[in-house]
């Protein structure tokens, strides 16, 4: 084989060289928690209207096989089962988060590993090994791409799932280095998905995980069949980083993919609310104003620049959400829902009438675009102005936010909530909602 670019070779070697024996206890615990969370989400989201539509599409067009879909147990080819289960797992903005890559790897690598493992009758240690290989490829590539990939309008999860799923298959099927390179390179030809759904809606956003996962698995199948891809698929002049991210990645970043580095899967984050994670700290900060809601005159909220494209001024319907997808990405309405009793009394959403995209402030903060600027903290900054002229700040301490996202729905401030409220407020939010609350 021709000499490989350093970064691409390092990515493929991570897949080929990783074994179950090198997985740390922390990595195994992280994988266990991800499995628990993702399987629950797949079952819980499977009855939503768009999830039922995905299942019907798969039933009508699937390849026969032995892998099963969540809840109903339909049997089909591994790629088709992973398509359905991945769509379920990402189906209501509840799936796990990997903050440095601004993405949701669990709803890719877990459906892929479980579906293919069932097809091949693999044992659980093999499934875990393959799941970690996919997770590490997905997140380490994604960390190099963030935040620019999101700021440019791409959906990181939709893009990165192709690489993660291809890595899962390459590991489980025992590909050599050359075939693994081609599997990942062909996955690049499948990579697609934008965040326009956060503005103008569309239930296809729910299916991005399934689409990317299936396409990544198919890419690996193509490589196994002898098809080849561009070896500089990441760092070439028309490779992933220059095309999707808009900047070069130096050869020195090959070290990021070493198995000597800490496993990214050891620190999964779990959402306490079923909405874009950029909203979460503001939701918690807003609760402090619930007893003074009627006195609020104006709210100014400062967000990370990378979040502007999804919840900020670049979201065309942030102030006028009419569908559930738009509401889940509307910071003004999420803030108002929290202030006014978690959706029970939306009387004055128009008072949340301005926020600004800007750098996070604080002694240790950096602007987006600088190294380490988005390492998993989306603290709420801003000011709430009252009719008597007083101004207060909805800040949430970082340590409190970090504790919340690591506990997930068991975190502070989360309660059960009547889903009928959300159905009444937002057309299209019908069919029943998962039960972690409806912020």
What string of DSSP letters covers 254-316? Answer: GGGG-TTSPPGGGS-B--SSSS-GGGHHHHHHHGGGGGGGGGEEEEEEEE-GGGHHHHSTT-T
Task: Compute the half-sphere exposure of residue 190: CA atoms within 13 Å on the CB side of its CA.
Answer: 29
- The residue with tokens 């970043």 is 253
Let me know if domain 6-266 sits in CATH 1.20.1260.10: no
Task: Give the model's pLDDT for residue 401.
Answer: 46
For residues 95, 96, 102, 107, the Cα torsion angle rounded to the nearest 10 degrees is: -60
pTM comes to: 0.85
- pLDDT category, 88, cuts 50, 70, 90? very high
Residues 397-406: b if buried by 16+ CB within 10 A, e if exposed? ebeebeebbe
Q: Domain residue spans in the chain?
A: 6-266, 277-425
Mind listing the pLDDT tens digit for each residue in 341-372?
764 333 333 333 333 333 332 222 233 333 33
Task: Give the model's pLDDT for residue 438.
Answer: 31
Contacts of 348 (CB under 8 A, 6+ apart): 293, 294, 296, 336, 340
Dist. CA 394–CA 202, nearest whole Å:
31
- Pair 97, 405: CB distance under 8 Å: yes
Q: What are phi and psi of 171, to 5 degrees?
A: -70, -45
Q: Is 141 left (phi over 0), alpha (psi -120 to 50) or beta?
A: alpha
- Pair 249, 144: CB distance under 8 Å: yes
Task: Give the model's pLDDT for residue 396.
Answer: 62
State mean pLDDT over 244-249: 98
Among 140, 105, 341, which residue's Cα sits nearest to residue 212?
A: 105
Mind listing the pLDDT tens digit for each residue in 318-348?
988 989 999 999 999 899 889 887 643 333 3
- Pair 77, 63: CB distance under 8 Å: yes
**Mean pLDDT lowest among 106-115, 144-153, 212-221, 274-283:** 274-283
Pick the residue with more confidence: 269 or 404?
269
Percentage of the chain modeled with pLDDT above 70 = 81
Task: Give the model's pLDDT for residue 136.
Answer: 98
Among 50, 89, 57, 91, which residue's Cα sits nearest to residue 70?
A: 89
Contacts of 321 (CB under 8 A, 6+ apart): 327, 329, 330, 333, 426
Mind listing the pLDDT tens digit for each residue in 91-114?
999 999 999 999 999 999 999 999
Task: Give the model's pLDDT for residue 342.
Answer: 64
Percentage of the chain modeled with pLDDT above 90 = 67
Task: Give the model's pLDDT for residue 395.
Answer: 66
Residue 325 burial by CB count (10 A; 0-12/13-18/19+): exposed, middle or buried?
buried
Among 276, 306, 277, which residue's Cα sits nearest to residue 374?
A: 306
In total, the chain counts a number of residues equal to 439
pLDDT at 415 exceeding the cut of 50: no
Task: Give the model's pLDDT for residue 340.
Answer: 84
- Determine the topology of domain 277-425 in CATH: 60s Ribosomal Protein L30; Chain: A; (3.30.1330)
């Amino acid at each position: 084989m021709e000499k490989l670019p350093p970064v691409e070779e390092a990515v493929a070697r991570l897949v080929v060289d990783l074994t179950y024996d090198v997985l740390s206890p922390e990595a195994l615990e992280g994988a266990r928690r991800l499995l628990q969370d993702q399987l629950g989400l797949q079952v819980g989201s499977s009855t939503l209207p768009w999830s039922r539509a995905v299942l019907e599409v798969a039933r009508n067009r699937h390849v026969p096989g032995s892998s099963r879909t969540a809840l109903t147990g339909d049997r089909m080819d591994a790629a088709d089962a992973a398509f359905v289960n991945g769509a379920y797992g990402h189906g209501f903005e509840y799936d796990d988060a990997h903050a440095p890559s601004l993405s949701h790897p669990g709803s890719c690598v877990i459906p892929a590993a479980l579906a293919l493992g069932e097809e091949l009758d693999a044992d659980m240690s093999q499934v875990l090994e393959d799941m970690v290989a996919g997770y590490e490829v997905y997140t380490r590539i994604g960390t190099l791409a963030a935040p620019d990939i999101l700021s440019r309008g791409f959906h990181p999860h939709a893009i990165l799932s192709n690489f993660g799923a291809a890595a899962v298959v390459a590991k489980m099927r025992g590909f050599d280095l050359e075939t693994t390179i081609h599997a990942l390179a062909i996955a690049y030809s499948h990579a697609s998905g934008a965040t326009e759904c956060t503005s103008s809606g569309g239930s296809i956003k729910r299916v991005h995980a399934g689409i990317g996962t299936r396409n990544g698995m198919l890419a690996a199948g193509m490589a196994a069949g002898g098809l080849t891809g561009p070896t500089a698929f990441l760092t070439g002049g028309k490779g992933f980083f220059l095309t999707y991210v808009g900047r070069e990645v130096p050869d020195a970043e090959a070290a990021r993919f070493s198995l000597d580095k800490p496993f990214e899967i050891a620190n999964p984050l779990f959402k306490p609310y079923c909405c874009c994670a950029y909203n979460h700290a503001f939701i918690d900060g807003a609760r402090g104003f619930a007893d003074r809601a009627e006195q609020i005159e104006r709210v100014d909220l400062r967000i990370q620049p990378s979040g502007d494209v999804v919840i900020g001024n670049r979201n065309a319907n942030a102030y006028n959400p009419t569908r559930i997808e738009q509401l889940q990405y509307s910071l003004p309405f999420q803030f108002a829902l929290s202030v006014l009793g978690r959706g029970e009394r939306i009387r004055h959403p128009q008072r949340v009438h301005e926020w600004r995209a800007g750098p996070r402030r604080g002694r240790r903060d950096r602007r987006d675009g600088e190294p380490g600027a988005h390492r998993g903290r989306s603290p709420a900054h801003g000011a709430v102005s009252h009719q008597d002229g007083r101004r207060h700040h909805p800040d949430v301490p970082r340590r409190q936010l970090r504790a919340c996202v690591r506990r997930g729905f068991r975190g502070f401030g989360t309660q059960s909530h009547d889903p009928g409220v959300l159905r009444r407020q937002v057309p299209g939010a019908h069919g029943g909602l998962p039960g972690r609350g409806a912020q």
